[in-house]
Amino acid sequence: MNKFEVLNKRSSGKCELCSSTSGLEVYESTPFDGTPDKALLLCHVCKEQIQHPEKMDANHWRCLNETVWSEVLAVKVMTWRLLKNLSKELWAQDLLEQLYLEDEDLAWAQSGMEEESNNDQQTAATKDSNGAVLVDGDSVTLIKDLDVKGANFTAKRGTLVKNISLTSNPEQIEGRVNGTQIVLLTRFLKKA
């Protein structure tokens, strides 16, 4: 039996998420190890929305009410990921609480989503002009003269700013120059 046949048998010829019987295809869940255990039989609607989460139609996913109880692990893992993506819906939050995964299965569920969150962290890191990551308490040096608006002085190139604090904006930090707490743009700084 090929993969499609195995999955078709497992699912009794239905989409394993929404039970639709049309346009069924094999969907390989990431990370994929080549076995049917990590694949699902899905209709094109489910597949399309999984591949394009920005197009997700929350109503289509009411079917997850059923799949949280699935005995097929790949279905439960996909359910978990979809519920995470839908987590601004209250019903999805409730369902997620009912969905139980063993630790290693949870790790699998998360690993498929990890890439996305890693990217988020990278963009959120505060970095100096050379790309070195800055953290609270670091010291930095100004790489150009900066007019400090409102404080009426120029912070000179080469000024050492000790004990900086990060802000919610990765392009800005706060530090004390000439006794005044000011906001500095990280592109004009270098880690000391």
Residues that bind Zn ion (CB under 5 A): 15, 17-18, 20, 43, 46
Contacts of 140 (CB under 8 A, 6+ apart): 128, 134, 160, 161, 164, 173, 175, 184, 189, 190, 191, 192
To the nearest whole angstrom, how small is the minimum distance from the Cβ of residue 84 to Zn ion?
18
Q: What's the min distance (Å) between Cβ of 129 and Zn ion? A: 49
CB of 185 to Zn ion, least distance (A): 49
Nearer to Zn ion, 15 or 134 (CB): 15
Considering the complex, what minimum distance in angstroms separates the CB of residue 86 from Zn ion?
Answer: 15
Q: Which is nearer to Zn ion, 71 or 103 (CB)?
A: 71
For 44, phi then psi, to 5°, come to -70, -25
Q: Which lies closer to Zn ion via its Cβ, residue 39 or residue 173?
A: 39
Cβ contact 27:17 at 8 Å: no
Q: Does residue 158 come out as left (phi exceeding 0), alpha (psi in the -120 to 50 range) or beta?
A: left
DSSP string, 41-64: EE-HHHHHHHH-GGG--GGGGGGH
Nearer to Zn ion, 43 or 184 (CB): 43
